């Protein structure tokens, strides 16, 4: 009888410990959820001049900046230079200058899209900001900004677009990246490779 009585305090201590652990777990989990909700809801409105980024697994992030309610600039998501050069391909930097339509709280990005693509054949050219070829298109077919939009989804600003699997949303985050305000400003940072001097080296 005394042994049973001795087990009671141990049982109570065990229950108390399990209760404390369970309470701690729920408090920590709730804190993390609240933390994530704060991050996701941090962008309460789209502000001209601010740079926003969005990412997709396996690709470098994309960036977008609104000059005003009608004009924006952007750099789409892309493969990394290591992946491109490693596969024996060129690495391309695409700069978008577009006009959007602001309606019912959404920014429809496909009103007008101009794409400027700089193509680099190797890392040396990329590091020295010397491109091999430049391509300009006012009707880019492969640019998903043509049918994309910036909008709110469940109190969260997202980049919304169509894909092969249907509609997809990419959450926006603020970025410190310095995005040029125009194509001309973008091109000032680069120069075309002088193939004559390169062949003489």
pTM over 0.85: no
The pair phi, psi for residue 34, each rounded to 5°, is: -65, -35
> Do 81 and 20 fall into the same domain?
no
Nearest to 98 by CA among 26, 45, 39, 150: 150
d(CA 152, CA 41): 10
Q: What is the pLDDT of residue 117?
A: 93
> Do 6 and 89 fall into the same domain?
no
Show the low-confidence residues of the chain (pLDDT under 70).
1-41, 58, 139-144, 196-201
Q: What is the pLDDT of residue 52?
A: 94
Cβ-based burial of 193 (10 A; exposed 0-12, middle 13-18, buried ≥19):
middle
Cβ-based burial of 171 (10 A; exposed 0-12, middle 13-18, buried ≥19):
middle
> Do 8 and 104 fall into the same domain?
no
Q: What is the pLDDT of residue 1?
A: 44
> Do 2 and 93 fall into the same domain?
no
> Whole domain around residue 9: which residue ranges?
1-40
């Amino acid at each position: 009888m005394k042994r049973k009585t001795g087990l009671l305090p141990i049982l109570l201590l065990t229950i108390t410990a399990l209760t404390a652990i369970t309470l701690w777990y729920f408090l920590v989990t709730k804190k993390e959820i609240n933390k994530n909700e704060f991050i996701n809801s941090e962008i309460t409105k789209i502000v001209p001049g601010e740079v926003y980024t969005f990412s997709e697994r396996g690709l470098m992030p994309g960036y977008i900046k609104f000059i005003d309610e009608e004009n924006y600039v952007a750099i789409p998501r892309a493969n990394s230079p290591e992946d491109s050069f490693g596969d024996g391909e060129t690495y391309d930097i695409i700069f978008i200058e577009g006009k959007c339509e602001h309606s019912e709280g959404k920014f429809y990005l496909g009103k007008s899209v101009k794409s400027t693509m700089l193509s680099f054949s190797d890392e040396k050219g990329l590091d020295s900001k010397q491109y091999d070829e430049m391509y300009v298109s006012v009707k880019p077919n492969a640019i998903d900004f043509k049918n994309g939009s910036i909008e709110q989804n469940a109190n969260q600003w997202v980049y919304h677009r169509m894909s092969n699997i249907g509609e997809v949303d990419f959450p926006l985050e603020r970025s410190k990246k310095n995005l040029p305000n125009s194509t001309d400003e973008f091109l000032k940072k680069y120069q075309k490779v002088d193939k004559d001097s390169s062949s003489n080296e």
